[in-house]
Structure 1
Amino acid sequence: MTTTELTTWMTTLRHQIHSFPELALHEVQTTALIKKTLTNLGVRLLPYPGATGVVAEIGHGEPTVALRADIDALPVQEKSDLPYASTIEGHMHACGHDFHTAALLGGARLLKAHEGELTGTARLIFQPGEEGHLGAKIMIKNGVLNGVQAIAGFHNQPNIPVGTLALKPGAMMASNDNFDVTIQGHGSHAAMPEASHDPVVTMAELITALQTIRSRNIAPDAALVLTIASAHAGTTFNVIPDTAEFKGTIRTFSAANRQLAKQRFYDIVEGMTKMNGQTPAIKWDRGPSCVDNDATLTDVLTAALRDTVRIVPAHPCNADDDFALYQERVPGFYGFLGSGGNGVLHQSNYRCNDAGLIYGAKFHFLAAKAMLAAVAAGKFNQVDQAV
């Protein structure tokens, strides 16, 4: 099997997945395609109780290491003239999870072809539902990390050239907390505001006041982003509404700052609404913690991959990824692999370059072999995998 043959094979798979994107935890056809492809390669599938997602293994015996790819798409309308563009209205692989899936299938093909060289077992995790913070949590509850002693994965980056891997030890991607606040006030005629407890004014005050969490509570050299991404109140020009609602997200790389930001958020929202004679309802979605790369594993994979890809330092990214949940339980590595496309992740103009797939496949192949060798050499301590 030549590099060209493997690239062509992966490209066909990616285009097939791209044209039929499925949202988080609804990846039924994608799951079926993955299972069929692995079965045709002679890869053994493990029993998995989830409705979507696939777990498979190549090799035999201990130790066991894992490779992970996410498989879900986004509720984004694709705007492209690609011959394999999404055929599903309002759905698109705008984050490149089709790239991740095809690359791990390519890695599986390489690993199966060299199965006799493996000094243990490589477990392949095709994870549903990365978008929405549920996929990794569900898979861990279903036992995909049982016996696993190290895990690796990557995210494609269209702004990084093909053949390049950006990496760093420690915090790589931010934690994610999302909030949804409803302010309950009392409406009135817009010409008679003295008869109201106006939630619109309170919301406006809060949108400004909440920025003091970053400017007045977090050290200037520490990263924290608080963004109000949606604000809504009322339906017409001459009625002060009873309620107002805003939503947003907080990202940071520090567990202490994450907790501080949440506490100050509640203090400010509860205090300001009380001052204005209103009450808040706060919904708080605690997302993944930081993607935090194990330093030893980062060194191991840097050495294993440096002759295959160009290694460059990674800049920490305020986006999140529930790969962090695996890293809370076993030593893990997550890199940014160049997909050399155009556009921006999560946008309708996102594209990636299929030439990057071969580097993704080789990443998985080399990472599995290197992790198995490192575990056998006793480089990692056993980690508590309790959920």
Structure 2
Amino acid sequence: MDDEATLTTWMTDLRHQIHMAPELALHEVKTTALIKQTLTALGIRILDYPGATGVVAEIGQGEPTVALRADIDGLPLQEKSGLPYASKIAGHMHACGHDFHTASLLGGARLLKAHEAELNGTVRLIFQPGEEGHVGAKEMLSHDVLHGVQAIAGFHNMPQLPVGTLAVKSGALMASNDNFDVTIHGTGAHAAMPERSADVVVTLGQLITSLQTIRSRNIAPDAALVLTIADVQAGHTFNVIPDTAEFKGTIRTFNAQNRALAKQRFYELVNATVHGFGQTVTIDWDQGPSCVTNDPTLTKLIAAADADDFKIVPAHPANADDDFALYQERIPGFYGFLGSGGTGTLHQPTYSCSDAGLIYGAKFHYLAAKTLLAAVANGELTAFKPQVTPVSAQVVNG
């Protein structure tokens, strides 16, 4: 078996290769090829997965079957980290650390393969494309990637946490995600003759303010919900009232009832306001992942299994989303925050993380796989009830 220094060097080389050539969601062709090449060299069997990108592989044999997941896609950002292995693809960057995730799961696979004879069951490795934009898990689930799997684990790196730290939380860890794209249709006119218009800019301004009352007047003060309008488009010059205006944004929350209420109030406010100004509206609603919700038993077991190798700390809930939640809708799962000791924050062009954290990523996967296998074999997850949230995104026009 490799020592930690050898394994770290091996993972670091893989991570740097991936970091220099980031690929966007569902276009991770070269990344997929590198993963397959690496797994093949390790003697790990690769399953016949029909998706254009992404890899599914297995170590061990027999029942039970558990899974480990890492995401592999990058973001449409221009890197400004100054790293010697910075992205060589203009406008693309691994600004969320999915290169760290991929290299860590490959390291975990190498550890598991070295101990394959000790595994009491099968460990399925899921290298998921397209986490950004919450499309990848849906794609993989449509190909039945969880067939026979009884529990799953994964992590997200956190550059603000020190290397060697694992933050854990039972229950809701990351928020649900709903995105909206609204187009208001009115009547344009000369800016000096507003009485001849149905002014969409006025309506837009009213909605930017009034939609915030969902948070302040419909949701309890002690409940977490964020409604952000992040993109506003209207007009093109100083003396023309435009025919249309558009705004886009997102809603994040940790409560299914508040999620439904926020959507209901959003439609009510938008429709009433627009119609009140004599205009019409189109609402495109993208229902993203539900909350990342950790199984209490798995959270306790994984924290205990990792206690000798990690500093275990409480995790603070994150308003960011992750489509790992879609797996947890079907089977018990655990998702943690792993310290990667970097700079910047996730999704920033200055983001970076430390290669020293990779060995902890590999250990996490190795220990999580053994813990999941034991938990299933011991019947500790029998109380799990699958959630009923649909897999596919729901788009509503109104």
TM-score range for the pair, normalised by the shorter chain length: over 0.9
Distance 2:355 2:385 in 1: 36
- Counterpart AA for 2:351: Y
Distance 2:50 2:387 in 1: 19
Distance 2:82 2:255 in 1: 42
Alignment-derived partner of residue 79 in structure 2: 78
- Counterpart AA for 2:323: D
Secondary structure (helix, strand or coil) at the match of 1:261 reads: helix
Alignment-derived partner of residue 218 in structure 2: 217
Distance 1:245 1:138 in 2: 29
Distance 1:32 1:383, change over 3 A: farther
Alignment-derived partner of residue 258 in structure 2: 257
Alignment-derived partner of residue 10 in structure 2: 9
Secondary structure (helix, strand or coil) at the match of 1:109 reads: helix
Secondary structure (helix, strand or coil) at the match of 1:245 reads: strand
Are 2:204 and 1:203 aligned?
A: yes
Distance 1:385 1:241 in 2: 45
Please state how far the C-alpha of 1:291 moved relative to its aligned partner: 0.2
Bigger Cα displacement from structure 2, 373-382 vs 11-20: 373-382
Distance 1:370 1:175 in 2: 27
Are 2:327 and 1:326 aligned?
A: yes
Cα deviation code 1:49-104 (max 9, x no counterpart): 00000000000100000000000000000013211111111000000000000000
Distance 2:133 2:231 in 1: 17
Secondary structure (helix, strand or coil) at the match of 1:22 reads: coil
Alignment-derived partner of residue 353 in structure 2: 352
Secondary structure (helix, strand or coil) at the match of 2:317 reads: coil
CA RMSD of aligned residues (A): 1.0
Are 2:42 and 1:41 aligned?
A: yes
Distance 1:66 1:52 in 2: 18
Cα deviation code 1:25-51 (max 9, x no counterpart): 000000000000000000000000000
- Counterpart AA for 1:340: G
Distance 2:150 2:321 in 1: 23
Alignment-derived partner of residue 109 in structure 1: 110
Distance 2:341 2:202 in 1: 45
Alignment-derived partner of residue 25 in structure 1: 26
Secondary structure (helix, strand or coil) at the match of 1:203 reads: helix
Please state how far the C-alpha of 1:383 moved relative to its aligned partner: 5.4
Secondary structure (helix, strand or coil) at the match of 1:18 reads: helix
Please state how far the C-alpha of 1:188 moved relative to its aligned partner: 0.4
Q: Normalization by structure 1: what TM-score?
A: 0.99
Distance 1:385 1:291, change over 3 A: closer
Alignment-derived partner of residue 186 in structure 2: 185
Alignment-derived partner of residue 65 in structure 1: 66
Please state how far the C-alpha of 1:211 moved relative to its aligned partner: 0.2
Alignment-derived partner of residue 301 in structure 1: 302
- Counterpart AA for 2:219: I
- Counterpart AA for 2:250: T
Alignment-derived partner of residue 396 in structure 2: none
Secondary structure (helix, strand or coil) at the match of 1:110 reads: helix
Alignment-derived partner of residue 365 in structure 1: 366
Structure 1 unmatched ranges of 5 or more: none
- Counterpart AA for 2:334: F
Bigger Cα displacement from structure 2, 52-61 vs 76-85: 76-85
Alignment-derived partner of residue 379 in structure 2: 378
Cα deviation code 1:251-278 (max 9, x no counterpart): 0000000000000000000000000001
Are 2:229 and 1:231 aligned?
A: no
Distance 1:80 1:100 in 2: 18
Alignment-derived partner of residue 291 in structure 2: 290
Please state how far the C-alpha of 1:134 moved relative to its aligned partner: 1.0
Distance 1:164 1:357 in 2: 12
- Counterpart AA for 2:269: I
Secondary structure (helix, strand or coil) at the match of 1:366 reads: helix
Distance 1:223 1:237 in 2: 39
Distance 1:25 1:81 in 2: 27
Alignment-derived partner of residue 394 in structure 2: none
Distance 2:255 2:265 in 1: 15
Distance 2:152 2:70 in 1: 11
Alignment-derived partner of residue 136 in structure 2: 135
Secondary structure (helix, strand or coil) at the match of 2:108 reads: helix
Secondary structure (helix, strand or coil) at the match of 2:376 reads: helix
Distance 2:21 2:380 in 1: 42
Q: Normalization by structure 2: what TM-score?
A: 0.96
Please state how far the C-alpha of 1:136 moved relative to its aligned partner: 0.4
Alignment-derived partner of residue 242 in structure 2: 241
Residues matched between the structures, number? 387
